Amino acid sequence: MSETGRKMGWKELPIGGYLLEPGSSMKYKTGDWRAFRPIIDQKKCVNCLLCWIYCPDGAIIRLEKNVDVNYDYCKGCGICANECPVKCISMVEEKW
């Protein structure tokens, strides 16, 4: 994942590694750092939103009645699975 498309060379890059566009980290997808993938068992989920609160990457998506994972940014740290009071999140090894 990471960034898609051609990477800039040293002549094109802004000086000093400056990022001149605010919010551009959205373009930098960190999902491929993941070694373990959180899988939510939607039948067990009580929508308490603790995973949404604890996720350090904001990678839990709030839906109408449940939550889901944004796999573009989830680094697979497992904090959501650890905090889940009903243990409905399992961490499954990624096969990249």
Name the residues that contact other proteins, by CB under 8 A.
2-3, 7-11, 13-22, 24-25
Q: C-beta of 77: minimal distance to other proteins in Å?
A: 17
Can you read off the two tokens belonging to residue 58? 């904001």
Nearer to other proteins, 7 or 65 (CB): 7
- Cα separation, 4 vs 24, in Å, equals 13
One-letter amino acid of 44: K
Nearer to other proteins, 18 or 96 (CB): 18
| 90: number of Cβ within 10 Å | 14
Nearer to other proteins, 10 or 96 (CB): 10
94 forms beta bridges with none
- Cα separation, 73 vs 2, in Å, equals 9
Q: C-beta of 94: minimal distance to other proteins in Å?
A: 19
Q: C-beta of 10: minimal distance to other proteins in Å?
A: 4
